[in-house]
A = this chain, B = another copy of it.
């Protein structure tokens, strides 16, 4: 038996040898070893006390049994009540490498920003009633002052669908039958977020065309666009994104900003603000946030931000070429701000990378000519397909030389591609809560993340569209990943955090600086866990 147990131990070590949190790669400190034990103990305890399968929680279809890593939208409030969540909230998170800017600020905060702007008007394409509350979606737009209306209400029987009402009037006079001003808030916020009934009810499918959950997902961006793509709101939105990220322990952000629309609506209500002004505004806000942190003696908490230029995976190759040229011009003007290039949108139903391969090859050629480097950061493999166009995007992303892969969900099916990622250091930006809500994974234990980590592929955990999913910051994603596996420990968290800086677009010196800051904060975090553990023991 002794011999057997020895062989067994060796087999496990060998099987897990590719993992980046493997003991062979870095010797943990004594404090870390103890803190790891504290975290594991709390996880084990809460698996019984909180996630007891005999307990149930309300669910769109009645009740749902509890389990660790269960569906996020039904588990959210329970998660927030746990000790583990309290601890992970204190964790320094490193970089946020995959988030779509337009879905990074809480819906209620966005609505408050909008309420401050008298230019913002709202309209409804149909008659609002209890029956149409979920299907008649608000449309927003900032109007030039000459077009401002005085219409009193969007719910009055006299309301003419599709006419603009000032947002403050619409809210103040929202019909009592629909809940009054709070009803207005529910209507708007409901259109900006995915609710449990939508994710886990009849929208529950990822089938190829006409995906209901993806339809709802897409519609949230249609609703928010009219609010966000307006200079006075956009600048405050960016500020809020940076500040709320910092508050969650994130020290660097690399958002994807969608440049599909060639202009933003200016303060004058005219759609006339070109992309370079977006960059100027972004930089100004970024500097203001950094200055404010420095003034508070908190400069160490945040190293900065770069932007992944994104457009949509629709249209002709010629149309795409306008964007690659636009991106080149911006990179030349803002070399320190342009981190990379991507095309975004639902992979299963929109265009595959191969359609644009020649544009991308020319883009690389043009970069050489101009002496600039704009790495691809392609979305690829965000699909359940096996050999489908979306799955095959992984081959193209890698062949085109992508620096990281957005999602790469289906890569666990590809032994050679995982090998390439491992060897070339192509990091996956994995968004577990996003994947679960968009019904790629039924729950966390079904997510391929453990398979991918065990194959030695570098991963950065990301939130994708936190404003739509309600997973603000990164604490929720780290939580869900941590509880769904008995292999994951403190060293796993550390490697995920470190990788999010190592595989960022920061320069080598910036990375060293960021990692040095991280090391200090990590040591404080480890102490915090130990103190938490001691307090727990005293209490029990």
Known interface pairs A1-B357, A395-B11; A61-B64 also in contact (CB < 8 Å)? no
Specify the main secondary structure of chain A where it touches its partner: loop
What residues of B have a CB within 8 angstroms of the CB of A415 in the complex?
Answer: 15, 18, 454-456
Contact A386 B450 (CB under 8 A): yes
Contact with B along A44-58 (1 / 0, CB 8 A): 000100010110100
Alpha-carbon distance between A61 and B51 when the two chains are bound, in angstroms:
24
Contact A207 B67 (CB under 8 A): yes
Contact of A395 among B12, B61, B396 (CB under 8 A): B12
What residues of B have a CB within 8 angstroms of the CB of A399 in the complex?
Answer: 4, 7-8, 11
Contact B18 A384 (CB under 8 A): no
Contact A15 B416 (CB under 8 A): yes
The smallest C-beta distance from A131 to any residue of chain B, in angstroms, reads 17
Contact A484 B395 (CB under 8 A): no
Known interface pairs A11-B399, A416-B15; A202-B64 also in contact (CB < 8 Å)? yes
Contact with B along A419-451 (1 / 0, CB 8 A): 000000000000000000001111001101011
Q: Which residue of B lies closest to A48 (CB)?
A: B209
Interface size on A, residues (CB 8 A): 72
The smallest C-beta distance from A74 to any residue of chain B, in angstroms, reads 11
Answer yes or no: A414 CB below 8 A from chain B CBs: yes
Interface hits, A435-488 → B, CB 8 Å: 439-442, 445-446, 448, 450-451, 454-456, 484-488
Contact A485 B212 (CB under 8 A): no
Contact of A62 among B64, B202, B211, B485 (CB under 8 A): B202
Contact A201 B12 (CB under 8 A): no
What residues of B have a CB within 8 angstroms of the CB of A116 in the complex?
Answer: none
Answer yes or no: A163 CB below 8 A from chain B CBs: no
Interface hits, A1-53 → B, CB 8 Å: 1, 4, 7-8, 11-12, 14-15, 17-18, 47, 51, 53
Answer yes or no: A512 CB below 8 A from chain B CBs: no
Known interface pairs A415-B454, A416-B11, A454-B414; A486-B388 also in contact (CB < 8 Å)? yes
Alpha-carbon distance between A211 and B67 when the two chains are bound, in angstroms:
10
Contact with B along A383-399 (1 / 0, CB 8 A): 01111100010011011
The smallest C-beta distance from A211 to any residue of chain B, in angstroms, reads 7
Contact B8 A395 (CB under 8 A): yes
The smallest C-beta distance from A285 to any residue of chain B, in angstroms, reads 40
Answer yes or no: A361 CB below 8 A from chain B CBs: yes
Alpha-carbon distance between A416 and B451 when the two chains are bound, in angstroms:
12
Contact B208 A67 (CB under 8 A): yes
Contact A209 B53 (CB under 8 A): yes
Contact B398 A11 (CB under 8 A): yes
Known interface pairs A384-B446, A396-B8; A361-B1 also in contact (CB < 8 Å)? yes
Contact of A202 among B8, B63, B357, B440 (CB under 8 A): B63
Answer yes or no: A132 CB below 8 A from chain B CBs: no
Contact B446 A442 (CB under 8 A): yes
Contact of A51 among B54, B70, B207 (CB under 8 A): B207
The smallest C-beta distance from A291 to any residue of chain B, in angstroms, reads 44
Answer yes or no: A187 CB below 8 A from chain B CBs: no
What residues of B have a CB within 8 angstroms of the CB of A65 in the complex?
Answer: 202, 204-205, 207, 212
Give 5 CB contacts A-B under 8 Å. Answer: A1-B361, A70-B205, A385-B445, A415-B456, A441-B442
Query: In the complex, given contacts A7-B399, A415-B455, what are 18 additional A-B residue pairs having Cβ atoms less than 8 angstroms apart?
Result: A1-B357, A4-B357, A11-B395, A11-B399, A53-B205, A53-B210, A62-B201, A65-B204, A67-B206, A67-B207, A67-B208, A70-B207, A386-B487, A387-B485, A388-B486, A415-B456, A441-B446, A442-B442
Identify the 4 closest CB pairs spanning chains A and B, nearest first.
Answer: A67-B207, A442-B442, A53-B207, A384-B445
Residues of chain A having any CB pair with chain B under 8 Å:
1, 4, 7-8, 11-12, 14-15, 17-18, 47, 51, 53-54, 56, 60-67, 70, 201-202, 204-212, 354, 357-358, 361, 384-388, 392, 395-396, 398-399, 412-417, 439-442, 445-446, 448, 450-451, 454-456, 484-488
